[in-house]
């Protein structure tokens, strides 16, 4: 039977039941998985069927029970690994050794036990970003992860509390990225130490800087910046392409919000995915061929009047919505002009866009055969 690796078991235990299934604890694996995913599935079905507000109390209880089951699952695996139970039990050889051979055996056993304890302690501490690196003696790297994680958490909570806005809570999504990066980096550093390699104590930012070869931009940083549409392109030096993608993304959000065109919100994730994978393609080409800064839409350069017309229309709409409608409501309070405008404006704009787009496609389809004959 192949030996089970404690690090693998600990990492798999992040998904309740999977770590115990890895070490052939079938009953515990089923119990923890059912205790975690069962309440979550039930809570999800309740939300779909009855709504969130009507059963808020039971939903909190179900989610709390699931989190408790997940924590017990992880604690159980920690005890199993640290205590040397199950497949991790120390196999003490009962053979008889004499003299120096016996002393050598016990010395090797003690060294192996010390190495296993260091490995387990490092893995356990690495669940708090930076502590695992401090255990390995990497002070700068450990402090960098500690400051990055808890500093970001403190600043996000502080800004959200000062501004009394819940929108800043969305930036908490950065914390799992830092946590996972710190965890797997600690495991990688531990593996290097066990292989006899010398550990270089430097921050992860210095790693990114060192990864730049011959003045080339870091692929890791470019990939990370590509999360924001256009920023990765700007980092790679693709100014025109990056600016167009950034303007298209944020301007689309602004226009759809101002004009209340929620029916076109599906365009936002399409733009994001297009920008992200386009950046990945250019990142993969870096170093293999020169990158060309080709704009996404070429005709904007020669047809700037259309951009001007769109900006002019937005200005007129904003002026009408903020000033003219307010004045009309004061002059004619019974007609409720602003309410009627907001109610039917979206329908009119969507209808015009759909009809205009359909006519444009029909006209283009009729032109193709004639153009083909002329050729």
Q: Are 13 and 127 in contact (CB under 8 A)?
A: no
pLDDT given at position 295: 78
294 vs 283: CA distance, rounded Å: 15
Beta carbons within 8 Å of 54's beta carbon, 6+ residues apart: none
Q: Are 239 and 223 in contact (CB under 8 A)?
A: no
Stretch (H or E) spanning 329 = helix 325-331
**324-338 pLDDT, tens per residue?**
877 877 787 777 777
pLDDT given at position 95: 36
Residue length, the chain? 375
pTM equals 0.48
* Apex 106 CA angle, 101 and 109, nearest 5: 125
The beta-carbon contacts of 327-330 under 8 Å, at least 24 apart in sequence, are: none
24 vs 88: CA distance, rounded Å: 12
pLDDT given at position 300: 61
pLDDT given at position 55: 67
Residue with tokens 């061929």: 289
pLDDT given at position 123: 76
172 vs 256: CA distance, rounded Å: 25
pLDDT given at position 106: 42
pLDDT given at position 210: 65
Beta carbons within 8 Å of 139's beta carbon, 6+ residues apart: 201
pLDDT given at position 114: 53
Q: Are 81 and 73 in contact (CB under 8 A)?
A: no
pLDDT < 50 stretches in the chain: 1, 91-106, 110, 370, 372-375
Closest CA to 204 of 163, 289, 143, 258: 143
Closest CA to 120 of 180, 181, 79: 79
Q: How far is CA 30 from the centre of its chain?
A: 29
pLDDT given at position 287: 73
pLDDT given at position 184: 81
62 vs 52: CA distance, rounded Å: 13
36 vs 17: CA distance, rounded Å: 9
110 vs 85: CA distance, rounded Å: 18
């Amino acid at each position: 039977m192949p030996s089970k690796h404690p690090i693998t078991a600990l990492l798999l235990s992040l998904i309740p039941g999977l770590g115990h299934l890895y070490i052939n604890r079938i009953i515990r694996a089923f119990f923890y998985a059912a205790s975690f995913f069962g309440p979550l599935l039930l809570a999800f079905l309740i939300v779909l069927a009855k709504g969130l507000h009507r059963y808020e109390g039971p939903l909190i209880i179900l989610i709390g029970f699931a989190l408790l089951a997940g924590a017990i699952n992880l604690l159980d695996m920690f005890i199993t690994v640290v205590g040397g139970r199950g497949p991790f039990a120390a196999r003490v050889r009962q053979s008889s050794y004499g003299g120096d051979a016996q002393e050598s055996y016990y010395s090797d056993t003690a060294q192996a036990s010390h190495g296993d304890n260091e490995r387990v302690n490092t893995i356990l501490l690495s669940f708090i970003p930076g502590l695992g690196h401090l255990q390995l003696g990497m002070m700068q790297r450990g402090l960098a992860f500690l400051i990055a994680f808890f500093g970001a958490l403190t600043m996000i909570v502080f800004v959200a509390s000062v501004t009394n806005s819940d929108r800043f809570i969305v930036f908490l999504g950065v914390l799992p990225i830092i946590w996972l990066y710190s965890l797997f980096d600690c495991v990688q550093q531990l593996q290097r130490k066990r292989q006899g390699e010398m550990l270089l104590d430097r921050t992860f930012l210095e790693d990114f800087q060192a990864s730049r070869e011959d003045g080339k931009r870091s692929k890791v940083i470019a990939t990370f910046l590509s999360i924001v549409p256009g920023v990765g392109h700007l980092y790679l030096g693709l100014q025109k392409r990056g600016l167009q993608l950034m303007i298209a993304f944020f301007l689309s959000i602004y226009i759809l919000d101002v004009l209340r065109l929620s029916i076109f919100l599906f365009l936002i994730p399409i733009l994001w995915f297009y920008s992200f994978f386009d950046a990945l393609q250019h990142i993969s080409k870096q170093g293999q061929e020169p990158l060309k800064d080709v704009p996404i839409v070429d005709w904007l350069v020669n047809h700037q009047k259309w951009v001007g017309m769109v900006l002019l229309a937005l200005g007129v709409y904003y002026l009408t919505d903020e000033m003219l409608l307010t004045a009309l409501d004061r002059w004619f309070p019974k007609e409720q002009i602003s309410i009627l405008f907001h109610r039917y404006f979206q329908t009119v704009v969507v209808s015009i866009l759909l009809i205009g787009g359909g006519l444009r496609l029909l006209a283009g389809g009729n032109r193709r055969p004639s153009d083909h004959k002329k050729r």
